[in-house]
Amino acid sequence: MSSAKAAAEQNVAALKYQLNIERIPASKSIKELVQYIQDNEPTDPFLHPVDKKENPWADRGKCSIL
């Protein structure tokens, strides 16, 4: 019975913690996210990868084992 009580106390503590989290409307957070993406798009290495000739870690040749 004590394990059920401990689990319930943990659940109550988690709910109290979540109750104190500041909530932001989705309309505001989406605008901020879109602005962040637009601001950082030019420097994103996944969208604009480094040229393979300038990349020191790029593979230079085929695998010699096969």
Instruction: Delimit the domains of the chain by residue range.
Output: 23-47
CB 52 within 8 A of CB 58: yes
What pLDDT does residue 30 have?
A: 97
What pLDDT does residue 56 have?
A: 74
Compute mean pLDDT per 10 residues along the chain, 66 residues long, and list them: 90 96 94 96 87 74 67
What pLDDT does residue 64 have?
A: 67
CB 41 within 8 A of CB 47: yes
CA dist., res. 32 & res. 24, Å (int): 11
Enumerate residues 6+ apart whose C-beta is below 8 A from 42: 48
What pLDDT does residue 50 have?
A: 75
